[in-house]
Structure 1
């Protein structure tokens, strides 16, 4: 799967707002070239929620283990949640055994090297082994984000 295929897949889900920081738009340089996916059917960037998934194209301070400084390397990150995280890794978020895999190995589903304890999963350069899992996880994360959005909308005073 290419980064563009992943972005196209997520953009095809209802109510998704995709942010793609680029030079000149006021975003920090470290995020240029990345993609951030929110459930925002009104098209407004949410201020009090994290994206349900991201695609990153470079290392971050404290997050170099995926070795995204290699040519054409990128990592898909998905807020999988406790249930999906446990189903895919065989371990609960935060369990040190869940972080045993090499975070830089391509086409391998892993606990996110920084946010695994929060139930995030990641794949560097998804391919034949992980393509279906990535699409399923993105779909599930979108569903969870949509449900969260609905709960927040219901709790707002009218």
Structure 2
């Protein structure tokens, strides 16, 4: 899957707000070129929640193990939730991820930094991980939508 295929897939889901920071839009320079997905049916960037998925194209400070400085390498980060995290990794988010190479492409892994919060990641999804990446992105979307609806429900 290319970055644009991933972005198109997620962006087509109902109620998704896709942010693609660029120079001059007020976003921090470190975020330029990356993509952030929120469930926001009103089209307003949520201020009290994290995106449910991101596509990053570069290393961030303290998050260099995926070696995203390599030409053409990007990482899809997915807030899959505890149940899917356990299903795909075989351990709970609180347990350390062992035996994974965070720089391997087309391999589903616990996110190098946010795995303890149930995030999964895959660098350059390909034949081995494309179906899983789509499934997990849909799951993360469903979780974000459910959170939004719970918060919006009258008490």
TM-score range normalised by the length of the shorter chain:
over 0.9
Instruction: Report the alpha carbon displacement of residue 28 of structure 1 after superposing the two structures with TM.
Output: 1.0
TM-score normalised by structure 1 residue count? 0.96
Q: Aligned pair in 2 of structure 1 residues 52, 99: CA closer, same or farther (>3 Å)? A: farther
Corresponding residue for residue 30 of structure 1: 30
Corresponding residue for residue 44 of structure 1: 44
Instruction: Report the alpha carbon displacement of residue 100 of structure 1 after superposing the two structures with TM.
Output: 2.7
Partner Cα separation in structure 1 for residue 14 and residue 27 of structure 2: 25
Partner Cα separation in structure 2 for residue 133 and residue 16 of structure 1: 20
User: Are 1:65 and 2:65 counterparts?
Assistant: yes
Unmatched tracts of structure 1, length 5 or more = none
Unmatched tracts of structure 2, length 5 or more = none
User: Are 1:19 and 2:19 counterparts?
Assistant: yes
| 1:1-158 → structure 2 map (5 Å cutoff) | 1-96=1-96, 98-155=97-154
Query: Moved runs in structure 1, 4+ residues, more than 2 A?
Result: none
- The RMSD of aligned alpha carbons is 0.9
